[in-house]
Amino acid sequence: MKRKNIVFGIICLIFVDQVSKIIIAKFFIDTKFYIIQPILGFSPIFNNQFSYFNSILKLNLGLLPHTIILVLIQLIMVLCYDYYRNIQHPDTLFLDISFIFGQSALICVFCGFYFWETGILDFIYLYFWTVDFKDIYLNCFVLLFVVNYLKKKTEFRNSKIIFKDYFLNILVRFKNQLLH
């Protein structure tokens, strides 16, 4: 995929997530119903725990640790994407689509952290937890990334580009950019 198509896909998914939350928060925040009882329903709630793991494990991590973790995840995701894209060129459709889902999810998390004062609005009830489109995007990212890896496993193993060398090359280029 071309870079502009990837950026357009990311913007579209973020738009769907954020606009749906604005509409739900404004008009349907007190609405609850089941589509398939008790498995699937609509039940908007604000999650002020910043993450699923923070909520389940009762870690009470604040915004700053979550932001640092997300920035690191974002950096790792971009580096891995670029690395795998260099190995797979030109057949990168699954990888590109997974990257679109992953980046959209992470940007939506940042939007939830900084734009929604009352917490992240989750509204899709799935059996025993409530999620939003961002969570679905994240699961699509993981699924497509794993499918892509399994599909291209031999290419990755036979690649002459070693991740460690690739990563060190990026660090050297970054250092050179800072010094000039």
pLDDT digits (tens, 9 = 90+) for 96-132: 999 999 999 999 999 988 888 888 899 999 988 889 9
Distance between CA 99 and CA 174 in Å, rounded? 22
Q: What is the pTM of this model?
A: 0.87
Residue 84: what pLDDT?
84
Q: Residues 100, 10: contact at Cβ < 8 Å? A: yes
Mean pLDDT for the chain?
88
Q: Residues 74, 157: contact at Cβ < 8 Å? A: no
Q: Residues 113, 63: contact at Cβ < 8 Å? A: yes
| pLDDT (mean) for 166-176 | 81
DSSP state of 39: T
Neighbours of 140 (CB within 10 A): 18
Residue 143: what pLDDT?
95
Tell me the HSE value of 89 on the side-chain side, using a 13 A CA sphere: 7
Residue 152: what pLDDT?
81
Residues paired with residue 40 on neighbouring β-strands, in sequence order? 36, 126
pLDDT digits (tens, 9 = 90+) for 34-73: 999 989 999 999 988 877 777 777 788 888 888 999 999 9
- Kindly indicate the confidence band of residue 10, based on its pLDDT and cuts at 50, 70 and 90: very high
